[in-house]
Structure 1
Amino acid sequence: MCRGLVLFLCLFLVPCGPIVECAKILGVFPFPSKSHYAMGNSLLKELAIRGHEVTMIAAFEETSLPPNVSYRTLKVNIDLNEGNKKINFFEQDMSNPYLITFFLNWAGSKITNGTFNAPEVQKLLRSREKFDAVIMDQFTDDSFAYFAHHFGANQILLLTTCANSWVNPLVANPAPPSVNPELLLEFSSSMTFLERLKNTVFYIFSELNRQLYFFPKQNEVIRTNFPKARPLYDYLYNVSLILMNAHESFNDPLALVPVMKNVGGMHVSPSGKLPSDLRKFMDEAKEGVVYFSMGSNLKSKDLPPRIRGSILKVFAKLDVKVLWKWEDETLPGQPGNVKLSKWLPQQEILGHPNLKVFITHGGLLSTIEAVHYGVPLLTLPVYGDQKLNAATAQQKGYAINIPFADFEEGKFEQALNELLRNPKYKQNAAIRSKLFHDRPMKPLDEAVYWVEYVIRHRGAEHLRVAALKLSWYQYILLDVFGFILVALSIVVYILRMILMKVCCGKPDKVKSKIN
C-alpha cells in the first residue's frame, strides 16, 4: 500500500522535465569522412541510449553499443577515388576555394546518387516505415531533403561547422558577407576592406554556383530516382532545426535565428584511460610531449618527402618527446625522441598534463578537442574549413598558423619553439577552455533536448522566422524600393510640370500686354 502510494506520488505529483515518447529517428551520414560520421554518430547513439529507435545510413558502423538499445546501421560504400588512383590532398592544389567548390559539386552528385541507389536504402525507401525526424549531414547533399518528405518526418540538419552560406538561406538567417566569412576562406569576422572584397566576390560566386549549377544537379538526382517528386525547392526550405558544430569559445559570434543552435563539442567524450605503453611514454616525458596528427582523412605517410624530411629535422633538435600518428610500418630517418603509432586515442592524449603542443591540420573536431583541454596549436591547414579554423585559432591567441602551401622548415621550427617557450599561448588556450566549459548544459544534452523539442512540438513551426514566407524580392525589399522609386518619379514629374507652367506662363502674359 505504502509502496504504491510512493510510486503514484513519483509519477504524478513530483515535477519532472518534458517527456518524449520513444521516437523513430533516421540519420543520413553517408559522406565517407570519419569526422562527419563522428558528429552524427555521437548524437544518434545518444538518442538511442535515451530510448529512441534509431536508423543510421552511414559509410561507417558503430561497434560499441550498450545492450538493449535500438540502433541499426544501413551501410553505404561510396568511393570518391577514381579507379585505383587515390586522392592525395597534399599533392593537389586544394588551397584554391574555387577549385574546391567544383570538387564539392562533383562529390555531392556522386554521394547523393550512390546513397539513393544503395540496396539497403532502396529497401528502406520501398518500406512503409515512418520516422518522427530525419537528421542529415548538411554537406553537398541537398537532395537528401527528400528523405524527410518521403518518411513524413521533421527535417533536422547537422552541420560539422559554424553557420555558413550553405544553410543560412534555408532558414532566412541574416548573414551579410561584410561580417560573415565564407567557409572556404581564411578570414575572421573582422575583415579589412580587401578581405571584405574577396569575401563578397566569393560569396557571389558560391551563390551563383548553387542556384545555377549545384541545385539543378541535386534536383536532377531527385527526379532521376523519384520521377513523381516535386522540385527540390519544395523540400529544401522545410527545416525545423539546425544543429551546428560551433561555439563562441572557438568561433566568432554570429547572428542566428531561433532554429539554429550551437552545440559545438558534443562529440567530446574521453574515456580518461591511456594504453599502458602510451601512459608510460607520457608520464616519463618530464620535458613535455608534442603530439602530431593530420586527422582521419589526411595521412601523414602521404606527406611530400621534402616536407616530411624538414619535420624530422626539427623534431630531432627538440628536448621534448614527440608522439606522431603515422600510418605506415616504418618512418625513414625517425629520431630517437619520436614515437609512432597508426592509431592514437587523441582526446586522452590531449588531456595528459605533460602535453605541450598539438600539431594539427586544423580540422574542427581536433581544434575543439584542443580547446576543451586548453592545448596550444601549431596548425598546418590543407583544404576546406581547415584554413578558417586555423586562422581563427591564431587570431584568438592560442595557435600559430602555417598554411600547408606555405610550409618552410625555418617557419615550422620557429613556430614550434615559440609555442613551447612562450607561456602566452597556453594561457590563451586555458581562457578558451574555460569559456568552452562555462555553459548552462553540456552540448550533447542540448542537442538531444532540441531534437526532442522539435519532435514534441511537431516541427516547432513557431521558431521559424517570417522571412521564410517572403519571396526573394520581398526579402531584399526590391518591391518596396521599386514603389519608392516610382512614387518619387511621379512626384518629380508633377513638380517639373508645375514649374514649367509657372516659368513658361509668365512671358506669354507679358507679351500679350505689350501687344
Structure 2
Amino acid sequence: MIKPEKPNPKVKEVFPESLRQAYDTAADDVSKTAVLTRLENRNFDIMLDGTVIFDFYVDSTEWMIKNEDFANWIKTEKFELIIHDNPAGQFAYGVAHEMKAKIIAYVNPATPIPGDFITFGLTEESSWLPDWYSGSRYWFLPYHFSSAYNSISWYFSHNWYLLPKIDALLKELYGKELPPTQELMKKVDLVFLNEHFSLGFAKALPPYAIPVGGMHVTKSNGTLPENIENFLKTKDRFVYISFGSIIKVSNLPPETQKILIDSVASFDDVNFLWKWEGAIPEGLPKNVFAMKWFPQQDVLAHPKCKGFVTQGGSISYQQAIFNGVPLIVVPVWGDQGYVAKTAEYHGIGIHLELADITKETLTKALSDLLNNERYARNVKEVSRRFLDRPMSPVDTAVWWTEYVLRHDTSHLKSPDISNRSVASAASPEGIVIGSMSFIFIPFSL
C-alpha cells in the first residue's frame, strides 16, 4: 500500500506502518512466486490455487485486529457508511454490524472473483462468461465447464473455509459472537463494480449492482517530462511496457529478461518506455528508456503511444481504452486472465501467456499490434463507447452513495435476498458527502 503524495485534507488515513510493511512483504513474496509458477505452468495462478488467496485474506485481517492502534480505532469510531474494497473485505461486514452502519462493496477487479456473484446475490453466468482463469486448468474440460466448476468450488470454499475464520477474528476483536458474516454479506446495501459493458461483457445485473469502471481515469494532454520527450523525439512512435507495481520484471529469470530485451531491440523504428521495477540493468538497447515509475496516464495519452504491454490490471486496462491504445496482455494472477480474454474478445489486444513468451512470439505480437490497423481501429471505437455515458463514473458513484445514505435499499434486491431495516445514524465523522459521512476500508490486492 502506498501513501498519497498529497493527502486530501478531508481524508483521515489510518494504516499503521507495521501493517503496511507486513502487507508489502507478503505481496512481494506472492508476486515472486506467481511470476515463477506462471512461467512453468501455463494458465496457473498461485493466488487461485487451493486456499492461498483466502489464507492471505485471513492473515491480513489478523494483522489488523492484533494491531492495538487499529483495533482501538475501529472499535471506537462511528460511521454511517462503510465502503470496503472487495475481495478481501469480508471483515468489514462485522464492523458495519457493530457500528449500525450501511455498507457498499467496491469490487475493484475487472470482474468479481469466482463465487462472489453468488455471495452477493448476483446472477451467476459462468456457463457463457469467462472468469479469472486464463483458460481451463483441466485438460479434459472445456473452458466454460471449468468456469462453472470454479464458481461453485469458490463459493463453498469462501463460505465454509474463509468466513468461519473471519467470524472467529471478529469474535476476538469484539469479545462476543456476531451474526455469521455469510448472513451479513447478504445485507450489502450496494455493490460498485469496477467495470463497464463497453469494454467487458454484457451481464444481467440487479439494480443494486452499479458499474462505475473508469473512476480513476483523467484526461491528459500527454505532456511528459523533458528528458522523456527528448528521447521520444528520435522516432515517430513508441510502445509503453509496464507490469504494474507488484509484478516486477526484475523477478523474472535472466533468460526471460533477455528475451524481452532482445525482442524490443529488434524494432529499429520504435521506441519503448519501460517501467522497470527493481534495479535497472545496464546496456539496455538504445530504443529503450527505462524508469522505476512513469506518469502512466500521461504516457498513454501521448500522441506517439501506439501500444501498451501490460499484465492486465483493470486500472491499466481502462486507462489504455480511455486513451485509445491497443494492448498486449500478459496475465500473471487475479483478474488479469479475464482482462486478457476481454481484450481479445473486443479485438483491441493480444493475449500472450508468460509461459509462451519467446523472442519469436513476443516479436510477432508487437509487430501485429503496431502494423495491423484493426487493433487501433477497434480500440478507438471501444473508447468512444466507454466515454459515452449519461453521467461520469465518479458522478454515478457519488449519486448512488448519497442514495444509499438517503434510503433503505432492500427494494433494489430480489425477494429471496435477506433484507434489513434502515440502519440507525452514526456520529458524523470521516469524509463528508453532503451532510453524511463514511469510511473506506481497503483490503484487497
Same topology, TM > 0.5? yes
Higher relative contact order (CA 8 A, sep 6+): 2
The secondary structure found in structure 2 opposite 1:265 is coil
The secondary structure found in structure 2 opposite 1:73 is coil
Q: State how far apart, in whole Å, the 2-side matches of 1:83 and 1:245 are.
A: 22
Q: 251, 256, 262: which is aligned to 2:211?
A: 262
The match for 1:503 is none
Asked if 1 retains the 8 angstrom alpha-carbon contact of 2:280 and 2:291, the reply is no
The match for 2:67 is 118
The match for 2:35 is 90
Q: Deviation of residue 368 (structure 1)?
A: 0.7
Asked if 1 retains the 8 angstrom alpha-carbon contact of 2:275 and 2:294, the reply is yes
Asked if 2 retains the 8 angstrom alpha-carbon contact of 1:141 and 1:218, the reply is no
Q: 281, 289, 292: which is aligned to 2:231?
A: 281
1:95-115 CA-partner distances (Å, limit 9, x unpaired) = 435762421011011011112
Letter matched to residue 417 of structure 1 = S
Asked if 2 retains the 8 angstrom alpha-carbon contact of 1:312 and 1:334, the reply is yes
Asked if 1 retains the 8 angstrom alpha-carbon contact of 2:329 and 2:340, the reply is yes
Higher mean displacement: 225-234 or 298-307: 225-234
Q: Deviation of residue 252 (structure 1)?
A: 0.5
Q: State how far apart, in whole Å, the 2-side matches of 1:466 and 1:142 are.
A: 23
The match for 2:425 is none
The match for 2:197 is 248
Asked if 1 retains the 8 angstrom alpha-carbon contact of 2:310 and 2:329, the reply is yes
Q: How does 1:97-496 map to 2 (within 5 A)?
A: 97=45, 100-101=48-49, 102-127=51-76, 129-161=77-109, 162-186=111-135, 194-230=142-178, 231-270=180-219, 272=221, 273-282=223-232, 284-318=233-267, 319-457=269-407, 459-469=408-418
The secondary structure found in structure 1 opposite 2:88 is coil
Q: 72, 76, 101: which is aligned to 2:12?
A: 72
- TM-score, structure 1 length as denominator? 0.73
The secondary structure found in structure 2 opposite 1:327 is coil
Q: Deviation of residue 125 (structure 1)?
A: 2.8
- TM-score, structure 2 length as denominator? 0.84
The secondary structure found in structure 2 opposite 1:91 is helix
Say how many residue pairs are matched: 403
- Residue 401 and residue 223 in structure 1: after superposition, are their counterparts in 2 closer, same or farther (change >3 A)? same
Q: Deviation of residue 126 (structure 1)?
A: 3.5
1:278-297 CA-partner distances (Å, limit 9, x unpaired) = 23333x14420111111111
- The unaligned stretches of length 5 or more in structure 2 are 420-445
- Residue 351 and residue 380 in structure 1: after superposition, are their counterparts in 2 closer, same or farther (change >3 A)? same
1:246-288 CA-partner distances (Å, limit 9, x unpaired) = 0012110111111100000101125544222223333x14420
Asked if 2 retains the 8 angstrom alpha-carbon contact of 1:240 and 1:464, the reply is no
- Residue 456 and residue 82 in structure 1: after superposition, are their counterparts in 2 closer, same or farther (change >3 A)? closer
Q: State how far apart, in whole Å, the 2-side matches of 1:255 and 1:335 are.
A: 48
Letter matched to residue 392 of structure 1 = T
Q: State how far apart, in whole Å, the 1-side matches of 2:371 and 2:350 are.
A: 13
Q: State how far apart, in whole Å, the 1-side matches of 2:101 and 2:29 are.
A: 39
Q: State how far apart, in whole Å, the 1-side matches of 2:54 and 2:182 are.
A: 18
The secondary structure found in structure 2 opposite 1:90 is helix
Q: Deviation of residue 209 (structure 1)?
A: 1.3
The secondary structure found in structure 1 opposite 2:74 is helix
Q: State how far apart, in whole Å, the 2-side matches of 1:368 and 1:156 are.
A: 22
The secondary structure found in structure 1 opposite 2:142 is helix
Q: State how far apart, in whole Å, the 2-side matches of 1:334 and 1:60 are.
A: 29
Over alpha carbons, which structure has the higher Rg?
1
Q: State how far apart, in whole Å, the 2-side matches of 1:333 and 1:309 are.
A: 11
Q: State how far apart, in whole Å, the 2-side matches of 1:454 and 1:124 are.
A: 25
Q: State how far apart, in whole Å, the 1-side matches of 2:359 and 2:197 are.
A: 33
Letter matched to residue 5 of structure 2 = T
1:10-31 CA-partner distances (Å, limit 9, x unpaired) = xxxxxxxxxxxxxxxxxxxxxx
Identity %: 28
Letter matched to residue 192 of structure 2 = L
- Residue 85 and residue 436 in structure 1: after superposition, are their counterparts in 2 closer, same or farther (change >3 A)? closer
1:331-385 CA-partner distances (Å, limit 9, x unpaired) = 2441111111111000000001101111111111111100000101011111111
- Residue 216 and residue 86 in structure 1: after superposition, are their counterparts in 2 closer, same or farther (change >3 A)? closer
Asked if 1 retains the 8 angstrom alpha-carbon contact of 2:239 and 2:273, the reply is yes
Q: State how far apart, in whole Å, the 2-side matches of 1:329 and 1:171 are.
A: 43
Letter matched to residue 90 of structure 1 = V
The secondary structure found in structure 2 opposite 1:253 is coil
- The unaligned stretches of length 5 or more in structure 1 are 1-58, 188-192, 471-515
Q: State how far apart, in whole Å, the 2-side matches of 1:120 and 1:291 are.
A: 42
Q: State how far apart, in whole Å, the 1-side matches of 2:281 and 2:44 are.
A: 30
